[in-house]
Amino acid sequence: MTSNFTTPPSNPTSPPTRRSVLRAVMYTAAAVPLGLPLAACATGGGSNEGEESASPTGNADPKNPFGMTENTTVDAVIFDGGYGVDYVEFAGEVLAGLHAGSSVKVSPSTQIATELQPRFVGGNPPDLVDNSGAQSIGFNTILDQLEDLTDVIDAPNVEGTTIRDTLYEGVLAPGTYGDKFAALNYVLTVYGVWYSASLFEQNGWTPPTTWEEAKALGAEAKEAGKYLFLWGTEAATYYQTLAIESAIKEGGDEVRLALENLEADCWSNDALQATFTIMKEIVDLGYFKPGGSGTQFTAAQAQWSNKQEALLYPSGSWIENEMKDQTAPDFQMKGVPSFSVTSGAAMAPTALHSTAGEPFIVPSQAKSVAGGKELLRVMLSKESATNFSKTKLAPTIVKDIVPADGFGSTALVSQTDMLSAAGGDIFTFNFVNTYGMNPEQLPIWNSFLDGKKSVEDLTSELQAITDRIREDDTIEKIEVS
């Protein structure tokens, strides 16, 4: 049959249909190189088209303060992490009830940056994004493409109260970059050291408040055949967070500001060195469960929450929800504020590291900016916030939501207790996330907790990262005061 190609058609007046097929193919092939390059070019489709005016013009309808047009489908991309996405879906249903015809499409994602990068470049980002998780977009890269969310805070909530009046103090700070309130951090996170109240009660232990007490508890744990701490390889820097918290409580604000502003020798500060030194003692005494540097972090956390091989675990308050399915029955998770170093610390032992997390952003180029803001407004209503705390066992930035029984969660009660005990002594720090240092710090902390690094090594290597970023002019610095 191959001979067909070498044989001229026997009747040239009626060409076979094969020709017309081939001709069509040929035309298509000729058209491809003309059409595709522009479409294939990542930055080719610029944002030259005129945008719709995003801000509402004097429409002060308290039921629709941002002037969301009718029959809008709000496009929300939500980080599918420890808190899932169903709380946004819940708010979406509430929104659909408030505005007949409109609805919310929630798309879960664990890879925010990779998934949304082409949409930001192409000028069609979603209306609302929960920019969270390990693959979140660095804020300094997209800041000028985000809406200022101050008008959301100043709008009345679904119940009619101005939203600003319903929030905890200081929760807007983490989402404020310069003078732009670009991200609304929805979940209130409390950092501390977590333990099983039932286990402690059985053994007559009390949770430590200073590092010396922690060391003493480590000896008792060893007698009971347990470890004081354990860690997982992707979460080794939880101990860095703990160390920084202790140092800030010991040395006060100057420790925090030196770290935040990437100062020279900021890691050599006395308070930090004292914390590192006693941590090193605990490492050398063998109170850390070995092998953490090769253990996947949730597997390691399960060794604490389920097998109870270690007594304490430093983490944020997401830990209860994260380990929900892998926690021993009657664990009774509770937390204490990070330990003080000495009794002469600058801050009270009740001082607490707490901040708002899960940053929600509304891109200015979104199809329905008003829809994104409206969904945020609904999420900040009493109904949605209560739903979140009840199902996720974590407080939102909306205050007076969690009842005294904490919806049956000891950890949630313990968080509200810690928050009220701390009063005004609440601090936070952002430099690790602002400059994306965590990936570089992880290997250093893994080696330190493994016992392979001295305090001097730890200090100089952490300082090297800080110094490199400070000296790199291409990285935009954010002054913290």
Question: What residues make contact with other proteins under the rule CB under 8 A?
Answer: 1-3, 5-8, 10, 12, 19, 22-23, 25-26, 29, 32-33, 36-37, 40-43, 45-47, 113-114, 117, 120-121, 123, 135, 137-138, 140-142, 144-145, 233-234, 289-296, 299, 303, 436, 439-440, 442-444, 446-447, 450, 452, 474
Minimum distance of other proteins from residue 348's CB (angstroms) = 35
d(CA 349, CA 175): 27
Minimum distance of other proteins from residue 151's CB (angstroms) = 24
Q: Would you list the DSSP string of 341-366?
A: SSTT-SS-TT-EEEEEEEEEE-BTTS
- Least Cα distance to 276 among 246, 232, 235 occurs for 246
- Least Cα distance to 227 among 324, 317, 313, 334 occurs for 313
Minimum distance of other proteins from residue 89's CB (angstroms) = 26
Nearer to other proteins, 213 or 234 (CB): 234
Nearer to other proteins, 149 or 444 (CB): 444
Is the C-alpha dihedral spanning 356, 358, 362, 368 positive or negative?
negative
d(CA 79, CA 86): 11
Minimum distance of other proteins from residue 248's CB (angstroms) = 25
Instruction: Determine whether 386 is exposed, middle or buried from the number of CB atoms within 10 Å of its CB (0-12, 13-18, 19+).
Output: middle
Nearer to other proteins, 133 or 156 (CB): 133
**Cross-strand partners of 107:** 77
Q: Measuring CA to CA, how many Å separate 158 from each of 262, 319, 326, 407? A: 42, 31, 37, 23
Nearer to other proteins, 156 or 291 (CB): 291
Is the C-alpha dihedral spanning 307, 390, 187, 141 positive or negative?
positive
Nearer to other proteins, 23 or 164 (CB): 23
Minimum distance of other proteins from residue 294's CB (angstroms) = 3
Minimum distance of other proteins from residue 140's CB (angstroms) = 7
- Residue count of the chain, please give it: 481
Nearer to other proteins, 252 or 291 (CB): 291
Minimum distance of other proteins from residue 234's CB (angstroms) = 6
Nearer to other proteins, 19 or 324 (CB): 19
Minimum distance of other proteins from residue 33's CB (angstroms) = 6
Minimum distance of other proteins from residue 156's CB (angstroms) = 33
d(CA 382, CA 400): 9
Q: Measuring CA to CA, how many Å separate 80 from each of 118, 314, 384? A: 19, 23, 18
- Residue 78: strand, helix, or coil: strand
Nearer to other proteins, 62 or 439 (CB): 439
Q: ∠ at Cα 281 (197, 246), nearest 5°? A: 60
Nearer to other proteins, 249 or 289 (CB): 289
d(CA 415, CA 306): 21
